[in-house]
């Protein structure tokens, strides 16, 4: 009896952390979405590289508490204090982000992206915002994840589908991989799911007070400080709707861990999550942050549904091109 119970607990525990099927589609979408946000952030920073360079060179000469510059092992910008070096590192960061999006050595590219982000944060700490923390979180899980199995350059078919394969091995786009009993790819995805659950719940707890409980969060002065695309006069036209949305968002964050882990409530919770982040992204002018949060929530979508969607897109592309892929 005790041995059977122990075996049951062990089997369920291992299936929770490493259970098949491997979440290939989820990991690939998270990789692509994270890389797109990172490329956008780096592209926007390109237009302000002159002031960034002055901040970096000034920070390099600022003494620490003991009277000497503080040492940081990932100071990629401190390896050369010239405008050319700053532009070189910035260009490399964009190239590495694009390689991550394409799925070229994704774990190594995710690690290098983290190094670049640490370098930016070290020399310009005043510009570090919540999006930077979220990007580092997503990249950390991508370092652990095998995210190049699908939707990457390695899974693309050749121009001619009848091309022979060296050694007579089957083509990866024609066969489903036969993996072991447990899948390593599930482990980082489970960690991310638990991380998101705790993140939403803590965010809801922090909002239990002040303008959120009063239903006035969207009339807060910080709205005007952020200069959102929606004018405050427009917000004043819908006070009841915005108060309702304020309480909805508060309840959603507090109840997110309950709804998202329930299979029957998962899709409604996902739909509410998209609505909440899109609304906040537009009203508070934080669309990249909102998009990245939606990307990370893809980790809760079932593998079967995403695999069917990918297969449907593949067939649609095949019909459009008029050939087998």
pLDDT at residue 323 tops 70: no
Is 288 in contact with 41 (CB distance < 8 Å)? Answer: yes
Closest by alpha carbon to 181, among 307, 14, 299?
Answer: 14
pLDDT of residue 37: 95
pLDDT at residue 64 tops 60: no
pLDDT of residue 298: 94
Write out pLDDT tens, residues 134-193: 999 999 999 999 888 888 887 765 543 333 443 444 444 333 344 446 778 889 999 999
Is 107 in contact with 143 (CB distance < 8 Å)? Answer: yes
Q: What is the pTM of this model?
A: 0.80
Structure tokens at 270: 């996902």
pLDDT of residue 72: 64
Write out pLDDT tens, residues 266-311: 999 999 999 999 988 887 778 999 999 999 999 998 877 777 777 7
Burial class of residue 120 (count of CB atoms within 10 Å of its CB; 0-12, 13-18, 19+): buried
- Would you call 87 helix, strand, or coil by DSSP? helix
Q: What is the mean pLDDT of the chain?
A: 78
- Per-residue confidence band for 106, with pLDDT thresholds at 50, 70 and 90: very high
pLDDT at residue 259 tops 70: yes
Write out pLDDT tens, residues 218-253: 665 555 455 555 565 666 666 777 788 888 888 999
213 or 218, greater pLDDT: 213
Structure tokens at 183: 């899948």
pLDDT of residue 302: 83
Tell me how far apart the alpha carbons of residues 107 and 152 are, in angstroms, rounded to a whole number.
13
Mean pLDDT of 72-94: 80
Measured in degrees and rounded to the nearest 5, phi and psi for residue 21 equal: -80, 160
* E strand or H helix at 58: helix 49-60
Structure tokens at 250: 């508060």
Burial class of residue 38 (count of CB atoms within 10 Å of its CB; 0-12, 13-18, 19+): buried
Q: How far apart are the first and last CA of the chain?
A: 53
Domain ranges, ordered by start, for the chain: 23-57+72-156, 184-285
CA angle 202, 190, 282 (to 5 degrees): 50
């Amino acid at each position: 009896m005790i041995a059977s119970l122990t075996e049951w607990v062990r089997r369920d525990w291992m299936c929770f952390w490493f259970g098949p099927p491997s979440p290939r589609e989820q990991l690939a979408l998270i990789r692509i979405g994270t890389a797109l946000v990172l490329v956008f952030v780096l592209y926007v920073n390109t237009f302000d590289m002159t002031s960034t360079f002055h901040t970096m060179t000034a920070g390099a000469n600022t003494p620490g508490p003991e009277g000497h510059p503080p040492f940081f092992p990932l100071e990629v910008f401190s390896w050369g204090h010239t405008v050319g070096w700053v532009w070189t590192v910035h260009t490399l960061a964009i190239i590495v982000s694009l390689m991550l999006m394409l799925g070229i050595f994704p774990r190594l590219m995710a690690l290098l992206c983290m190094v670049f982000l640490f370098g930016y944060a070290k020399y310009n700490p005043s510009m570090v915002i919540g999006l930077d923390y979220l990007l580092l979180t997503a990249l950390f899980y991508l370092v652990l994840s095998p995210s190049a199995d699908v939707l990457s350059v390695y899974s693309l078919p050749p121009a001619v589908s009848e091309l022979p394969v060296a050694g007579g091995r089957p083509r990866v786009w024609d066969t489903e991989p036969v993996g072991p009993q447990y899948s390593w790819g599930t482990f980082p995805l489970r960690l991310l799911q638990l991380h998101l659950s705790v993140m939403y719940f803590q965010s809801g707890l922090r909002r239990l007070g002040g303008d959120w409980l009063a239903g006035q969060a969207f009339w807060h002065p910080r709205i005007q400080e952020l200069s959102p695309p929606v004018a405050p006069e427009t917000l004043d036209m819908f006070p009841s709707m915005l108060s309702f949305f304020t309480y909805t968002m508060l309840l959603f964050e507090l109840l997110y861990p309950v709804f998202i882990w329930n299979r029957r409530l998962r899709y409604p919770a996902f739909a509410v999550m998209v609505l909440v982040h899109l609304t906040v992204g537009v009203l508070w002018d934080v669309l990249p942050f909102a998009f990245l949060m939606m990307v990370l929530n893809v980790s809760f979508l079932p593998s079967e549904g995403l695999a069917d969607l990918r297969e449907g897109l593949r067939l649609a592309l095949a019909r459009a091109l008029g050939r087998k892929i």
